[in-house]
Amino acid sequence: MSSSFTQISLVLKKELVTSLRDRSSWATMLMFALVTLSAVSLALRGAIPSPTISAALLWVILFFSSMAGVGNIFTSESASGTLLALRIYGSASAVLFGKFFYTLILLIVMSLFTVPLFIIFIGISVSETLIFIISIVLGVWGIASAGTLTAAIMMATDGKGGGLFSILMLPVILPVFLPAIALTAFSFGGDAASVKYLGAMLIYDLLITVAASMLFDFLWYEESGE
């Protein structure tokens, strides 16, 4: 077996190339973000909501836009038959982390597209830029790791639980979601939120990434007879 880093890079590169040639996951996610942003903006008719409502709206848009792009990262392989080839030739850690980094890149691009548009459409100003950026990065990392793990669990159900993806994701992501909303609200000039939330988000992100690695190992090899 080649080094883990090389294998992860191969899976990441494969994900990027195939998704950019297909473009459906990128287009679905970005269109979802654009449509929800437009709907929120039109509904508000120029009124600027409170920092807490604005923060909640932003994270709802980010969360559900992510679901549109992340949900099928394993089931699409299963449906096309390539999952079998991956299981024969690849290792669990390479597949998991390759797909995790791909998801992270996908969500970072989606955030770079969505967040500036949200600020423009809603007309809200960011007073704590650094905290805002860090909370977006940590929140997106949490969605990427929890999303990759949940998508892998969906793979183990042979795609029969596809509709449950968002429902399963919510309890896993709440410990990141709630502090992210509080910190974003603070960045928008709302009530003060403890900067310790950033540390808590970082620890939770690390935990969920390690847990995903351990659980995925079980999912990948349990099915293969170990």
Minimum Å gap between C-beta 105 and other proteins is 18
Whichever of 21 and 196 has its CB closer to other proteins, that residue is 21
Using CB under 8 A, which of the segments 2-10, 101-109, 126-134, 161-169 binds other proteins? 2-10
Place of tokens 């996908």: 106
State how far the Cα of 220 lies from the Cα of 226, in Å rounded to an integer.
9
Cβ-contact 67, 165 below 8 angstroms: yes
Q: Does 10 bind other proteins (CB under 8 A)?
A: yes
Select from 43, 47, 88, 214 the one that contacts other proteins (CB under 8 A): 88
What x-and-dash track marks residues 115-144 binding other proteins by CB under 8 A?
Answer: ------------------------------
Minimum Å gap between C-beta 177 and other proteins is 34
Minimum Å gap between C-beta 79 and other proteins is 10
First to last CA, the chain: 18
Characterize 78-117 residue by residue with b for buried, 16 or more Cβ atoms within 10 angstroms of its Cβ, and e for exposed. Answer: beeeebeebbeebbbbbbbbbbbbbbbebbeebbebbbeb
Q: Does 87 bind other proteins (CB under 8 A)?
A: yes
State how far the Cα of 206 lies from the Cα of 100, in Å rounded to an integer.
13
The helix/strand/coil state of 140 is: helix
Q: Does 221 bind other proteins (CB under 8 A)?
A: yes
Binding site for other proteins (CB under 8 A): 1-3, 6-7, 10-11, 14, 17-18, 21-22, 80-82, 84-85, 87-91, 94, 221-226
